[in-house]
Structure 1
């Protein structure tokens, strides 16, 4: 047994002692008091343990809440960092793709510039060759047609000088012949002049010039030419009109030389902000080389020259050729806007 306390008792009457019953009663009281004290001590100990346990639970709950908060904050930070990382990866991919596209674009531009340089070099040589051939042709025609005609006129005049006093009837016939020859010579000179630069283009406009040229082409070659043009073509400036005229001229020249065609349709329509020219022939087709704009089998660099002319005035040039469907040249030229 454990001693939990001491109870001191004394009798009120001096010299008297407690009897056995009283001792038994007091012992019972002491045992009950001991139990009560022990229970009080246990209750106090339990209360203290409960308080300490509550403190521990509160501390654990607080630590748990702080941990949850830290986890949420860390999760948010990781999510934000992950989002930034994904954006950086996406941006890097976009930059890499842009760099690749830029590299491919500049490579294409470089190749295109090199092709254009080659084309311009070929065109330059071709222009010189064509100029020389044109000079030779004009020189030959002047020599053979105009030169021979003037020589014949000179001989005729010499004979007139000799016959002037003898044979008047024959003299009249020779003068008529010489007049006809002079007229033919004048026509030849006018034809050379018109082929070099038709005055009708400057004096009357594009449509009359095209009508005159297509009519003379049809009479000279036997190829049917149908011309249809919108009045809007006269809104083109002088340089653009010259380009349209030269494209038609070069196209018909190619048709007569290479196409073996019977018919040509020329249609000039008003587009949204300019004109659209289409030249179609029913002749034999040929292969159109892509990318280089050089055309094999028909017209060669003459067609490249047309393309250069059209692009020089801000236009677009295209050609289609398919067996059984003939060849179509399509040109778009914008009107020039006036700037204030």
Structure 2
């Protein structure tokens, strides 16, 4: 656990005010001492030959004051830049708290605020995603148990109708029967995508293989799979995150990439277990919609690092690095 810094008796505003007074006082004191011990004198009224000496002295004092103030206030520039770029879905973007003088308390307070906001967002996202998974499972059960069974009953009725119908109606009834059978298959596929029962029954690798097979059926792109079977234990939550991000990544390829080749890989690398979805599509600048932000929220839940690169004309690569605990001997 990170040690909390003791709260300063002075407020940051008071500390900054004191520092400015000290800097300015120091500069003017040094200037006065230099003027007192130097052979330079100032007449009354001021002579023209003394004006350059006064000008140079004033310039030196202002320059010294500017340099000291600039160094003292430098953390404010970095803090402003962090405020402008901070994104709670890209965590651990912090300022160093050492060497910032009286502004250290301001930096430490801002870093603590980011820690608190990230923790609160992570908790809220976990509840929202859990509710989403529960709703998906409910819809999947209703599709499978109610609509699926109803369509099965219709198929049985149509089969009986085909057997009893006159010859001139059989072909038309047979076409209707095939349409209903196709609808039943689609309902089952939707239910399977909503609730990855295979993930619980057969594991992550089998589920990713099935996901790639489904993608290959509904897309013209050729899918290359590189899925290592012997991987460290990730846990149920992390496996579900990997599956959902792979699902969303392949869906985005089918919708937007115009790709002919897709690589789906899950393997062990130095920075953990890495999931990668890479295509040879059009690439280019991306607008992060709800799908991509959902992927980032899921990655944040398990402490994983999600990166998406999409150079123009170079395809898109989604990379999820899941940290794993060192294996015990």
TM-score range for the pair, normalised by the shorter chain length:
0.5 to 0.7
CA contact (8 A) 1:153 1:181 kept: no
The aligned counterpart of 1:38 is none
In structure 2, the partner of 1:211 is 209
Matched, 1:322 2:311: yes
CA-based RMSD of the aligned residues comes to 4.8
- For structure 2, the residue ranges without an aligned partner over 5 or more in a row are 1-71, 73-96
Residue 107 of structure 1 corresponds to: 110
CA displacement, residues 254-282 of structure 1 (integer Å, 9 cap, x when unaligned): 11112222221122221246301222112
Any conservation in 1 of the 2:141–2:191 contact (CA below 8 Å)? no
Q: 1:223 maps to what in 2?
A: 221
Determine if the alignment matches structure 1 residue 307 to structure 2 residue 296: yes
Give aligned pairs, total: 233
> Which residue of the partner structure matches residue 97 of structure 1?
100
Alignment of 1:175-324 (within 5 A): 184=182, 187-233=185-231, 235-272=233-270, 274-287=272-285, 296-297=286-287, 300-324=289-313
Bigger Cα displacement from structure 2, 193-202 vs 330-339 = 330-339
Alpha carbons of 1:194 and 1:99: their partners in 2 closer, same or farther (altered >3 Å)? farther
Q: From the CA coordinates, give the structure whose radius of gyration is larger.
A: 1
Tell me: CA distance 1:329–1:147, structure 2 relative to 1, closer, same or farther (3 Å): same
Q: Deviations over 1:34-56 (max 9, x none)?
A: xxxxxxxxxxxxxxxxxxxxxxx
2-structure distance, mates of 1:126, 1:203: 21
- Separation in structure 2 between the aligned mates of residue 274 and residue 126 of structure 1, nearest angstrom: 24
Partner of 1:47: none
| Unpaired segments ≥5 residues, structure 1 | 1-92, 288-295
The 3-state SS of whatever aligns with 2:242 is helix
Deviations 1:128-147 (A, max 9, x none): 99999999999999999986
Distance 1:130 1:272, change over 3 A: closer
The CA deviation at 1:121 is 9.1
Q: Does 1:334 align with 2:323?
A: yes
Which structure has the highest helix share of the two? Answer: 1
Is residue 278–residue 316 contact of structure 2 (8 Å, CA) maintained in 1? yes
Give the secondary-structure state (helix, strand or coil) at the position aligned to 2:278.
Answer: strand
Deviation for aligned residue 1:153: 4.7
- Higher relative contact order (Cα pairs below 8 Å, separated by 6+ residues): 2
Contact 2:144 2:188 in 1 (8 A): no
